[in-house]
């Protein structure tokens, strides 16, 4: 028997609309937060695994996926995404939940914990960092800052350029050659939705979030986290290097660290079975299964 699926739209206090989907109807809710510029497709395998036993909730940030572009996409921040997460949690009836976050989503769930820790049963930051993510690139941070500022001022031009790159016949081979994904473990069919999503993305919100990521930092919160935490890292992650996850796990009391061998920033679709079983074990150990 297939799991019950509910789909809906939550409205924020300022009128933004957020698309959400809930797979399953188990008593423990898992709410997944995406990375920047990403919709819900990377969570598909985990949703399939947990929907028979849990309620697995995915949702789209403003202007991403099936959530329409808000009136002022240039105002998007990590903290705003965390407040939107609360709106979605209320809409799906999740008084308390386990929060999962991929890439930027790791910072979103930490902000959500900062705002309402009593509603958080556990945290699972995946392939991310607590903050200051561009520090991972050393001396390249000024270049990223320049790209973000130029892109913000020329979002439509950036969109046209991005679409041209995505349509280039060799883009998939280039992504593999650059180490963005594992050349053998990442299925192209699981990555194609990302290309499709980027080709339709309004980059005003993307650049606003990227600008906020230049300064956002929840590191000071880590020693005060008092819920179970599983930090997931990719051994070959270029965007959130392993040492950032190790640092995060070391600063959170009692946190566990799962390192996916050979895992890239797309390790969620490269090693979905291992990730699902490890998360299941973690939840069971903390009576959240």
Closest CA to 188 of 127, 266, 273, 263: 266
Q: DSSP labels for 166-195?
A: HHSTTHHHHHHHTTSS-TTTS-HHHHHHHH
Instruction: Return per-residue pLDDT of the chain as tens, 289 residues.
Output: 678 999 999 999 999 999 999 999 999 999 999 999 999 999 999 999 999 999 999 999 999 999 999 999 999 999 999 999 999 999 999 999 999 999 999 999 999 999 999 999 999 999 999 999 888 777 778 888 899 999 999 999 999 999 999 999 899 999 999 999 999 999 999 999 999 999 999 999 999 999 999 999 999 999 999 999 999 999 999 999 999 999 999 999 999 999 999 999 999 999 999 999 999 999 999 999 9
The pTM score is 0.96
Model pLDDT, residue 143: 87
**19 within 8 A of 65, measured Cβ to Cβ:** yes
Superfamily of domain 5-285: Alpha/Beta hydrolase fold, catalytic domain (3.40.50.1820)
Phi then psi for 153, rounded to 5 degrees? -80, -15
Model pLDDT, residue 1: 62
Helix runs in the chain, H state only: 44-50, 78-91, 104-115, 141-153, 155-167, 171-177, 188-200, 203-213, 242-251, 267-270, 272-285
Q: Are strands 55-59 and 17-23 parallel, antiparallel or unpaired?
A: antiparallel
151 half-sphere exposure, CB direction, 13 A CA radius: 22
Residue found under tokens 């209320």: 90
Q: Two tokens at 84?
A: 């939107």
CA distance 115 to 239: 26
Model pLDDT, residue 239: 93
| Helix %, strand %, coil % of the chain (to 5) | 50, 15, 35
Model pLDDT, residue 140: 76
Closest CA to 120 of 56, 31, 203: 31
Q: Two tokens at 121?
A: 């049963």
CA distance 238 to 74: 27
Q: Two tokens at 82?
A: 């965390």
Model pLDDT, residue 184: 95
Residue found under tokens 């561009």: 134
99 half-sphere exposure, CB direction, 13 A CA radius: 29
Hey, which bits of 12-161 come out as E strands? 17-23, 29-33, 55-59, 97-102, 120-126
DSSP 8-state code for residue 4: P
């Amino acid at each position: 028997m297939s799991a019950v699926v509910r789909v809906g739209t939550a409205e924020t206090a300022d009128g933004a609309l957020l698309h959400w989907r809930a797979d399953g109807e188990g008593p423990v809710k898992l709410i997944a937060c995406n990375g920047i510029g990403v919709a819900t497709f990377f969570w598909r395998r985990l949703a399939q695994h947990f929907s028979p036993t849990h309620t697995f909730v995915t949702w789209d940030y403003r202007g991403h996926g099936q959530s329409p572009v808000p009136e002022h996409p240039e105002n998007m921040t990590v903290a705003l995404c965390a407040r939107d997460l609360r709106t979605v949690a209320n809409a799906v009836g999740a008084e308390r939940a386990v929060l999962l976050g991929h890439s930027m989503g790791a910072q979103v769930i930490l902000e959500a914990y900062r705002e309402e820790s009593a509603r958080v049963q556990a945290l699972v930051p995946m392939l991310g960092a607590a903050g200051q993510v561009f520090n991972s690139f050393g001396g390249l941070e000024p270049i990223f800052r320049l790209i973000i500022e130029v892109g913000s001022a020329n979002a439509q031009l950036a969109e046209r350029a991005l679409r041209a790159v995505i349509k280039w016949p060799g883009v998939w081979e280039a992504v593999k050659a650059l180490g963005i994904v594992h050349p053998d473990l990442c299925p192209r069919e699981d990555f194609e939705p990302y290309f499709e999503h980027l080709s339709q993305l309004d980059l005003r919100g993307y650049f606003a979030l990227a600008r906020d990521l230049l300064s956002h930092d929840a590191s000071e919160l880590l020693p005060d986290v008092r819920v179970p935490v599983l930090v997931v890292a990719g051994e070959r992650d270029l965007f959130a290097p392993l040492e950032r996850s190790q640092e995060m796990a070391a600063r959170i009391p009692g946190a566990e660290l799962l390192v996916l061998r050979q895992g890239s920033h797309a390790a969620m679709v490269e090693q979905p079975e291992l990730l699902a079983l490890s998360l299941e074990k973690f939840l069971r150990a903390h009576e959240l299964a």
